[in-house]
Amino acid sequence: MNTKKKIGILTGGGDCPGLNAAIRATAKTAIQIGYEVIGIRNGWKGLIDDENETLDSFNTSGIIDKGGTILGTSRVSPFQVENGSQRVSDGFKKLGLEALVVLGGEGTLTIASQLFKMGLPVVGIPKTIDNDVKETDYTIGFQTAVQIATDALDRLRSTAESHHRVMILEVMGRHAGWIATYAGMATGADAILIPEIPLDGEKIEELCQVLKERNKMGKNFSIVVVAEGTKLEGKTIVEPGFDISRNERAGRLGGIGKLLGGIIERKTGLETRVSSLDYIQRGGTPVAYDRNLATAFGVKAVELIIDKKYGEMTALKGNRITSVPLQKVAGKTKTVDLNVYKIAEKFFG
Ligand code: F6P
């Protein structure tokens, strides 16, 4: 009879670079101390539908640099499936797991917190390009997304300069402007528009003024970064045909860049082009920072399990890897630190 203790790992919500590094670190650390590790496929769905595979030192090798998640992911919530939470609990018991490591963003971690309250022994690891999870300075995937957006902005600058255009780049981030702020600051953007600072008529006039002034000074191109969740006259812009009020969590934000491009061109008379990074900023190789953060979080998650500190999430505070109760994270959004934004703002225009 197999008497080894077992833990499960799942990845839920949108993927991001660094997930595989975290799976590797968690699995290898647990295997080293004698655990059997089960990879749950496609997020919560894998526990509901009994889809899983054993993770060993072979199938978790050589994946530290791979984007995406070897386990697959989904946005399925047990609370939106009939008897979902019961089926998750049954799936957990059937596998004989001692604990479950949940790699997720705010949505997945909120579900983990709710299931913990219902008795499931979970440990969370924060991951999302959006960096909007409370109680941790950074999430896995954020630095890679910032680097990808930075590279894109550098490229856009050269073509904007050649054609004397206003170039707008729309980046992801849901209802927080972290990617826009950090990539915009790294490239000296002339304006950074984020959900934390809603756009209204007055703000748009100010922006157009800045762009016209630059032009007058002979700086005949400009770079504007806009986060997808930036509100225009109090409204979040969503992809056509999508009603955000009906499905907020899976909501496909997007379109503010195009909308803004039209307004700017009309109001300033400056030739304007719009690009959107979309899913490119979520794919591919993680930067070293994300691999190392993922590795440290994976090791910490196993320590939490050994200490039976369930209901906790690994977190980065300053340079320290620590943990916080999932309850403090659930249902909340970490918005941009406006002190950081103010630094970027000094270089606008
Ligand atoms: O949360 C990560 C993220 O990429 C957001 O920035 C974006 O709004 C959303 O996921 C897109 O979701 P989906 O992959 O479901 O289209």
DSSP string for 145-199: HHHHHHHHHHHHHHHHHHHT-EEEEEE--TT--HHHHHHHHHTT-SEEE-TTS-B
**How far apart are the CA of 254 and the centre of ligand 1, in A?**
10
Contact 167/153 with Cβ under 8 angstroms? no
Helix (H) or strand (E) holding 343: helix 338-345
CB-based contacts of 104, cutoff 8 Å, min separation 6: 11, 12, 13, 43, 111, 112, 124, 125, 126, 127, 128
Is there a catalytic annotation at residue 337?
no
Cα separation, 306 vs 326, in Å, equals 18
Measured CA distances, 274 to 55, 255, 347 (Å): 43, 10, 21
Contact 292/114 with Cβ under 8 angstroms? no
Query: What phi and psi, each to the nearest 5 degrees, are found at residue 233?
Result: 50, 45
Please tell me the residue having the least CA distance from ligand 1 atom 1.
14
Contact 208/264 with Cβ under 8 angstroms? yes
Cα separation, 157 vs 176, in Å, equals 24
**How far apart are the CA of 14 and the centre of ligand 1, in A?**
6
For the chain, which residues score pLDDT lower than 50? Answer: 244, 246-249
Number of Cβ within 10 Å of residue 249's Cβ equals 15
AA letter at 142: F
The number of CA neighbours under 13 Å toward the Cβ of 278 is 7
pTM here is 0.96
Cα separation, 3 vs 325, in Å, equals 30
> What per-residue confidence (pLDDT) applies to 122?
98
**How far apart are the CA of 172 and the centre of ligand 1, in A?**
7
Please tell me the residue having the least CA distance from ligand 1 atom 3.
14
Q: Which of 15, 49, 130, 278 is catalytic?
A: 130
324: left (phi over 0), alpha (psi -120 to 50) or beta: beta
Cα separation, 6 vs 35, in Å, equals 5
Indicate the top mutation candidate among 282, 333, 334, 336 to test ligand 1's pocket, ranked by most ligand atoms within 8 A of CB. 282
Q: Which of 250, 270, 309, 208 is nearest to 107 (CA)?
A: 250
- Residues in the ligand 1 pocket, defined by CB under 6 Å: 14, 75, 105, 128-130, 172-174, 228, 250, 252-253, 282
Q: Distance of alpha carbon 283 from its chain centroid, rounded? A: 12
